[in-house]
Amino acid sequence: MSKQYLTAHTVDNAHIANIFAIAATKTAVLSASGSSSLNIHATNKDAYPLVQSISNAHKLGCHHLAVSRDGRIAASIGFAGDLKTWKVSDTGSGDWEPYVEVANGGEKNGEAWALALSEDGSVLATTTHNGRVNVWRLRDGSSQLAQQFEPGSVVTSAFGMSIDISHDGKYTATGHENGAVYVYNNESGRIVYQLPGLAKPVRAVAFSPAGTKLAAAGDSMTIELYDLQFGEHVAQFTGHTAWIMSIDWSDTGEYLLSGAYDGKAKVWSIDKQACVATHSETEQALLSVKWLPKTGMNEMFCTAGANKSLTFYREATGTA
Amino acid sequence: MDPRGPSRIAYSEASVSAHGRASSHTLFSDDSQALLEDSPNGSVQSPNYQGVGRQNVISRIEDIVESMVDALSENQPLTLPLRSRRSGNELAVSFPSTTPSGVKKFSGFCWRSSVRFHSAWCLTYSNSSISCSSSGSLSLPPSSRFGHHYYQKSLTETYCRSIYYHNPELFESQRYVNELVDDIAFMFGVGRNELNIVAASKGLIAGQPFGPEHGDQAVVVPPAETVVDLDLRQIEWILVIEKEATFRSLVSLRYHEISVAGRGILMTAKGYPDLASRQFIHRIHSKFPQIPIYALMDFDPDGVSILRTYKHGSQSMRHEEHATVPGLLWLGVKSSDLIELQMRLLPMASSGPSNGRESQSTLSSNPNNDYGSSSSLAQLLPGSTRHGEAGWKLLSMSCRDRAKAMQLLRSLNDQVHQDADEMEQTSELQLMLVLNMKFEIQAVDQAENMAYWLDERLSRISGWI
């Protein structure tokens, strides 16, 4: 059985450059691009208007952006290696403002690459070019380097291309350029699993909402699903015909959303282990895809990439 | 610090002293006016338009020589004004340095430069031990024995290479001579040409009216001055190619004659372009602005950097004029071309494990997959399996590549106003970093497929499809 999604709205030219990352809260989509500003579009208003633009956030542009599940804290990394954190203003305006400074953990500029935030934004993790992982604890006014997973005999020094933190903040997963996937325990600093890799760059890793599964995808054009109870490979989703750049779990953990370099977005049912919807509004690369946190009856998701636009989709079945 | 430095100073000092003292009484008995009167007008080697600048340089060199001779006769340290090619700042460098403050000046870059400069001084100043026709020899009046010889020699151009061979022991490497010449040119704010020194072009060119010569379709890029006499009315396009191998394979296919876009000219400067090749292509573009000039570069930071060197020149050679082609059009390879390639990567999805950091996706095709695009880049791929050798390679970016990309992004970001081309370059560099991928053209075997691809691109651009 397939699912129907309709294009709800497209914000054309949401940025003047490629959109490399988007992140969704209950009320807004934050987006980062090759230009220096971060943009915030409201998702709870008609026509998804631009409600804030943080200019000069990253001088050389921004490639990674994440927001905590509670929608309060965000973090971004720019092409100059500049790592910044943001929070929703306490004034009630809903605007985003700079949060704590994160010293780059002894890393040289440009080494921090992918990043992830825990559910409440108290844990921030980043990968580096040489395969390391840095984990920070963020509190108001300060940041503290909590863990540093060094490359060693087990961990290769391959570029850390993707990262995710489990919703409870206990685990960090990383996907590497050589196809390796690792799961770390943030408390002990130990590697929990070294998962059978994809043999090709892993451009996205994502914990399921319950933290029981991990999905990984990338240049193999497949999505690999792992069970985290025993670290077993449990499923492979095939169907994309280009590098998979981004994946995201739906709130309920029933569906996976994926976006590929050929512009195609797919929705996968975990139960059926099959693709249930394919969309290709653009032939330009999709670089980031995200479900919007469920607020109404309909599931919604947003895609962005080389066409510089934000495209919003709404589930066709189950009218509001 | 350069361990070779001190010996060079000694050498320079010796020759400067010896010839400086010996000939000081006759040094300025002649003047540059007489020199210019003797020059054969309109000679190919020293075009007229450079005369004024050259005379200015001669008089400035003479001023320096004069002050040096004065300093020597008064037993004072030599002082040279020196401009850094990196920063453009002017420094006064003393030699030998006797005071503590002078010693300081010799530190770091300044020190290295001063060593260089004294070597250069040898080059330009001493007229017997190193016989060369750089700017300095122009300024030197004839002693009874060498005079006529130098007049003649100074009016024809000298190749950097021949300067080096005048005293290989002193200069040690060709590269060193090149840098000296550029330092001197930069110091006087003129181009190499005005010092009467040229480097032989390393570039190659093919297509009428160039070549064939000795049966070889490709010939060395001729001097820029010769462009004046060219007739390019038949030429519809010019393609500047980064890699010599790509150039060679297109030449062997005679793509410049058989392209659907009409007759064209193929050119390569084998990587980063040398000054002579850039001056040549600049002159072509000025004289024939109606002929589009396209660039075929690798999808990697060096490809962008080479493109920018053709378009805007290089930082260390900014004193050279008439060496840029701002209108150069970037034909490829770009990030959008990668989508076609991935279609052909599909059969690779279940291949064995990659080899770590150096992981490459060797492109191959599945004969069962027919994507129906007859003239696409993907068409290049069948050849790679047929010949058992990958012609086009996807590679991961090295640390050097990433650093280079970031350096380029910074310099692009420093532009006050980015034009559309610079925005595109920024965007492509960012994508290289995000994808962590570069794409190298190594098509030696797939010239025919490459020709299809070029046909399609060139005709799309010129609006014929």
User: Cα–Cα distance between B405 and B300 in angstroms, integer?
Assistant: 8
Which chain B residues have a beta carbon less than 8 Å from that of A262? 339, 342-343
Structure tokens at B332: 């490829």
Q: At what angle do helices B301-312 and B420-435 cross, to 10 degrees?
A: 160
User: Cα–Cα distance between A161 and A179 in angstroms, integer?
Assistant: 10
- A78 close contact with B: CB closer than 8 A: no
Q: Tell me whether residue B416 is exposed, middle or buried, using C-beta atoms within 10 angstroms of its C-beta: 0 to 12, 13 to 18, 19 or more.
A: exposed
Which candidate in B435, B437, B439 is best for mutational testing of the A interface (most A CBs within 10 A)? B435
User: Cα–Cα distance between A224 and A114 in angstroms, integer?
Assistant: 20
Whether residue B340 has pLDDT greater than 80: no
Averaged over B33-37, what is the pLDDT?
Answer: 32
Cβ-based neighbours of B163, under 8 Å, separated by 6 or more: B123, B132, B134, B171, B177, B181, B197
Averaged over B383-387, what is the pLDDT?
Answer: 33
Residue B369's closest chain A neighbor by CA? A241
pLDDT at A70: 93
Phi, psi values for residue A92, rounded to 5°: 90, 0
Regions of chain A short of the pLDDT cut 50: 153, 319-320
Residue B436 and residue A177: Cβ atoms within 8 Å? yes
Averaged over B236-256, what is the pLDDT?
Answer: 90
Residues 201-230 of A with CB under 8 A from B: 201, 219-222
- B433 close contact with A: CB closer than 8 A: yes
Q: Under a CB-based contact definition with an 8 Å cutoff, are residues A94 and A88 in contact?
A: yes
- B34 close contact with A: CB closer than 8 A: no
Residue A81's closest chain B neighbor by CA? B406
Mean of pLDDT over chain B: 66
Q: Under a CB-based contact definition with an 8 Å cutoff, are residues B377 and B343 in contact?
A: no
Which chain B residues have a beta carbon less than 8 Å from that of A284? 336
Bigger pLDDT: B280 vs B374: B280
Residue A20: its H or E element = strand A19-24
The β-bridge partners of A300 are A292, A314
Q: pLDDT tens digits for B436-459?
A: 988 887 644 566 677 888 888 888
- A292 close contact with B: CB closer than 8 A: no
Residue A158 and residue B356: Cβ atoms within 8 Å? yes
Residue A177's closest chain B neighbor by CA? B357
Whether residue B116 has pLDDT greater than 60: no
Find the range with the poorest average confidence among A260-264, B90-94, B282-286: B90-94
Q: Under a CB-based contact definition with an 8 Å cutoff, are residues A39 and A56 in contact?
A: no
B427 three-state secondary structure: helix
Nearest to A261 among B339, B349, B357 (CB): B339
Which chain B residues have a beta carbon less than 8 Å from that of A60? 406, 409-410, 413
Cα atoms found within 13 Å of the Cα of residue B226, Cβ hemisphere only: 9
Find the range with the poorest average confidence among A78-92, B254-268, B325-339: B325-339
Averaged over B347-353, what is the pLDDT?
Answer: 35
| Alpha-carbon distance B405 to nearest alpha carbon in chain A (angstroms) | 10
Q: For a pLDDT cut of 70, what percent of chain B falls above it? A: 51
Which candidate in A36, A56, A60 is best for mutational testing of the B interface (most B CBs within 10 A)? A60
Cα atoms found within 13 Å of the Cα of residue A12, Cβ hemisphere only: 0
Bigger pLDDT: A190 vs B149: A190
Residue B406 and residue A80: Cβ atoms within 8 Å? yes
- Per-residue H/E/C for A133-185: EEEEEEECCEEEEEEEECCCCCCCCCCEEEEEECCCCCEEEEEECCCCEEEEE
ipTM for this prediction:
0.94
- B352 close contact with A: CB closer than 8 A: yes
Q: pLDDT tens digits for A120-144?
A: 999 999 998 888 888 889 987 788 8
User: Cα–Cα distance between B259 and A62 in angstroms, integer?
Assistant: 41
Reported as a pLDDT band with limits 50, 70 and 90, residue B13 is very low
pLDDT at B319: 66
Cα atoms found within 13 Å of the Cα of residue B264, Cβ hemisphere only: 27
Whether residue B107 has pLDDT greater than 50: no
Structure tokens at B460: 């799309």
pLDDT at B338: 78
Residue A238 and residue B339: Cβ atoms within 8 Å? no
Which chain A residues have a beta carbon less than 8 Å from that of B336? 284, 306
Find the range with the poorest average confidence among A91-105, A119-133, B36-50, B163-177: B36-50
Nearest to A79 among B351, B359, B409 (CB): B409
Bigger pLDDT: B409 vs B135: B409
- A178 close contact with B: CB closer than 8 A: yes
- B366 close contact with A: CB closer than 8 A: no
User: Cα–Cα distance between B239 and B383 in angstroms, integer?
Assistant: 23
- A284 close contact with B: CB closer than 8 A: yes
| Alpha-carbon distance B413 to nearest alpha carbon in chain A (angstroms) | 7
The end-to-end CA distance of chain B, in Å, is 59
- A117 close contact with B: CB closer than 8 A: no
Residue A202's closest chain B neighbor by CA? B435
Nearest to B399 among A60, A129, A158 (CB): A129
| Alpha-carbon distance A247 to nearest alpha carbon in chain B (angstroms) | 16
Averaged over B88-111, what is the pLDDT?
Answer: 51
- B415 close contact with A: CB closer than 8 A: no
pLDDT at B352: 33
User: Cα–Cα distance between A180 and A203 in angstroms, integer?
Assistant: 11
Find the range with the poorest average confidence among A238-242, B7-11, B91-95: B7-11
pLDDT at A2: 78
Residue B410 and residue A222: Cβ atoms within 8 Å? no
Cα B21 to Cα B24, B25, B66, B73, B167: the distances in Å are 5, 8, 12, 7, 22
Of B424, B365, B360, the C-alpha closest to B395 is: B360
Averaged over B297-310, what is the pLDDT?
Answer: 94
The β-bridge partners of A73 are A87
> How many residue contacts between A and B have a Cβ separation below 8 Å?
99
User: Cα–Cα distance between B67 and B24 in angstroms, integer?
Assistant: 11
Q: Under a CB-based contact definition with an 8 Å cutoff, are residues B161 and B174 in contact?
A: yes
| Alpha-carbon distance A175 to nearest alpha carbon in chain B (angstroms) | 13
B389 three-state secondary structure: coil
User: Cα–Cα distance between B175 and B319 in angstroms, integer?
Assistant: 18
Residue A261 and residue B342: Cβ atoms within 8 Å? yes
pLDDT at A214: 97
Cα B399 to Cα A111, B9, B287, B394, B433: the distances in Å are 10, 38, 41, 16, 11
Which chain B residues have a beta carbon less than 8 Å from that of A56? none
Residues of B belonging to the active site:
165
Residue B138: its H or E element = helix B135-139
- B335 close contact with A: CB closer than 8 A: yes
User: Cα–Cα distance between A126 and A103 in angstroms, integer?
Assistant: 12
Structure tokens at A206: 């994502």
User: Cα–Cα distance between A288 and B55 in angstroms, integer?
Assistant: 62
